[in-house]
A = this chain, B = another copy of it.
Amino acid sequence: MPLDQSSSRRRFLGILGLAGLVTAWRTPRARLAAQAPAAAPTPTAQWWPSRWGAGDQAGASNWITPEKVLDSAKLIRDGKVYRLGRVYEAGMPLFGTRSFSLTIPGGPTGGPFGANKLVYHDEFVVSEIGQIGTQFDGLGHIGCVVGKDGDKTEMRYYNGFTEAEIGDANGLVKLGVEKIKPIFTRGILVDVAGVKGRMMNMGEEISVADVQAALQRQGIAESSIQPGDGVFFNTGWGSLWMKDNAKFNEGAPGVGLAVARWCVAKQLALIGTDHWATDVVPNPDPDLAFIAHHELITKNGILNHENLDFTALINDRVSEFVYVFAPLRFKGATGSPGRPIAIV
């Protein structure tokens, strides 16, 4: 097939694919059969065993050694703590069919007990707990099909684990988020919206040059980035949070394959962004679906924190900090909610 035909066909399929992608995540959960485009999968070298050995389930959180913690702690000079996470609440933007419900059983839940007449409240939460709001992606969240569609022995995850090995109705058997080590590391904010002077647009991919320009503007030497650091990209898209949820969910500016590979080359522990996708959605290359997730999580075990809020850091012109986040150890979960903080 001549290249142009192939390219045109791939573009056509890609557009369909991306349209289907956003639709699928927003309405009923995506089904196996229908969404797969006919195009052959991007040829990829086998990505396992991982840098940390066959069987490793902690991925890039392995970078967080005592030396790294000690080194990072030196960044605490003011004692000021910044909240990087959003409040989890009814009405926050949720993707696809994900839901969030918090109720208080009873009013109060129980009591009075004792002569002191104690009463108490519980809360009851129902949600895709690791994949809502400020969400931290574990290593079992993202994989890809490397062979026949529908065959669980040919769906692969980080370190080569297959769906047949990790999947279970009651929680992932391998690669659960409880395997991730607590993260206390140097964080670097890359304010791409700042260097551009505007909120980035839906579908606008951050380039490596953008990253470098932002670092330069903020006075951070690219060469100072060390293995195990966390890099956080501000696109401005997060300003839509609870302001225009429909637009917020429709797509996003973000990381594509080039910046993902830059992150891999830097040997980061994790990255983060100010929106739900981290990836640019839709990707300018219509064949690619959430390719940054794919490159970072599946192939390299690099973690990903979404829906962060960098406003206070930016207001205080803070570009370097200790990032602290210890993912909840929900056994077999794909991700974690939580309240990441930055300390300077």
Contacts and interface: CB of A to CB of B under 8 A. Distances in A.
Interface string A34-74: 01110111100000000000000000000011111111010
Among A90, A96, A110, the one with the most B-chain Cβ atoms within 10 Å of its Cβ is: A110
A182 B339 contact: yes
A119 B103 contact: no
A245 interface: no
A168 interface: yes
User: How many of chain A's residues touch chain B, expressed as a range?
Assistant: 35 or more
9 contacts: A28-B168, A29-B168, A69-B343, A90-B170, A99-B99, A114-B290, A117-B144, A184-B341, A326-B339
A316 interface: no
A27 B171 CA distance: 12
A182 to B, nearest CB: 5
Contacts of A29: 103, 105-106, 109-110, 122, 168-170
Nearest to A173: B31
Nearest to A330: B88
A3 to B, nearest CB: 15
Contacts of A337: 328, 330
How many copies of this kind of chain does the complex include? 4
B172 A116 contact: no
Interface stretch (A79-87, A193-201, A268-276): A79-87
Given A29-B105, A171-B102, A13 B115 contact: yes
A329 B81 contact: no
A123 to B, nearest CB: 5
Nearest to A70: B79
A291 interface: yes
Interface in A96-126: 96-99, 101-126
Contact of A287 (B42, B114, B124, B163): B114
Given A21-B114, A29-B103, A106-B106, 14 more contacts: A29-B170, A32-B108, A32-B111, A36-B117, A40-B115, A104-B105, A107-B107, A107-B168, A118-B294, A121-B141, A123-B172, A125-B127, A150-B152, A326-B340
